[in-house]
Chain A
Amino acid sequence: GAVVSQHPSWVICKSGTSVKIECRSLDFQATTMFWYRQFPKQSLMLMATSNEGSKATYEQGVEKDKFLINHASLTLSTLTVTSAHPEDSSFYICSARGGTPPGETQYFGPGTRLLVL
């Protein structure tokens, strides 16, 4: 149980294009989903927290117009990187809170590697 999927697993795009990443909780309902960014040899950096049916809460320094988050259902959240630039190249990981044990823990997706040329 508590499986989170993420799609695509990797994407290469041209500078200026938008990229959408999907995050799904497959066997549990996730009222809260999180989006992280991870640079090589660094820890997870929380970008935003999204609750189903409401606007996402962004961490300080994260541009909400750049990283659009939609949490339309209890099993799906999407992150859209708008007008991507090379500096947006990174490893993006989503996680969902819920499942078992009680919902304090977070379960992570496999990550999406984004390369912007």
Chain B
Amino acid sequence: QKEVEQDPGPLSVPEGAIVSLNCTYSNSAFQYFMWYRQYSRKGPELLMYTYSSGNKEDGRFTAQVDKSSKYISLFIRDSQPSDSATYLCAMSAGGYQKVTFGIGTKLQVIP
């Protein structure tokens, strides 16, 4: 079993839809959770950063962490064609330990 599981997609949605992206993990020591967006042929860009459980909102993006279920989500409201990219979840236990990445979910927002 991989430490971090993420559905690679692709996920296609119409413009304006609410998008839900998810990851599950097995390591209960993980405390820091991140979402990165990667456009084709570019390096990943940090979108959201969350410590421990709870929600965090930034514009159209909301990150949720449920440590009891070992499940994290990223919601994108009013999705735009420019949101079309691959979204990677990432997490670490802290103490400057290695960050573990999901495989990434490819999202396509159709105009």
Q: Which residues of A contact B (CB under 8 A)?
A: 2, 4, 6, 32, 41-44, 46, 49, 91, 93, 95, 97, 101, 103-111, 113
- Give complex CA distance A95, B81 in Å: 27
A-B contact count (CB 8 A): 50
Residues of B within 8 A of A111 (CB): 41-43
Among A42, A43, A107, max chain B CB count under 10 A is at A43
Residues of B within 8 A of A43 (CB): 88, 101-104
Q: Which residues of B contact A (CB under 8 A)?
A: 8, 32, 34, 36, 41-46, 49, 88, 90, 92, 94, 96, 98-99, 101-104
Would you give the shortest CB distance from A105 to chain B, in whole angstroms? 5
When the two chains form the complex, which single residue of A49, A104, A109, A113 contacts B94, counting CB atoms closer than 8 Å? A104
Would you give the shortest CB distance from A29 to chain B, in whole angstroms? 14
- Give complex CA distance A105, B36 in Å: 11
Would you give the shortest CB distance from A94 to chain B, in whole angstroms? 8
When the two chains form the complex, which single residue of B41, B42, B96, B104 contacts A104, counting CB atoms closer than 8 Å? B96
